[in-house]
Amino acid sequence: PPLLYLSFFPTGIPLSRTPRCTCIKISELSVNLRSLEKLEVIPASHFCPRVEIIATMKKNGEKTCLNPESKTIKNLVKAISKERSKRSP
């Protein structure tokens, strides 16, 4: 089965020189798990008051910001985290 990465960024580490939210526009669309290369979860911080979830697609490397409040996305993050914890010693 394909390996899927789920990244969590610790609070307080800026992803760019200008501290701000990474996601400007949030997609309400669902993503196909088979097309997903990486899923990044960026917790809320003093730079950005909301949790951000960024999906990177395998085919073209395109990044899409997903709605962290979506039930589908919450279930996706939970499933990937559970699978990842099974693989970790």
Residue 3, Ramachandran bin (φ over 0: left; ψ between -120 and 50: alpha; else beta): beta
pTM, rounded to two decimals: 0.70
- Name all domains of the chain by residue range, CATH numbers in brackets: 5-12+20-87 (2.40.50.40)
Higher pLDDT, 9 or 59: 59
Residue scoring higher pLDDT (53 or 29): 53
User: Within its chain, how far is the Cα of 79 from the centroid?
Assistant: 13
Question: Would you place residue 53 in the very low, low, confident or very high pLDDT band (cuts 50, 70, 90)?
Answer: very high
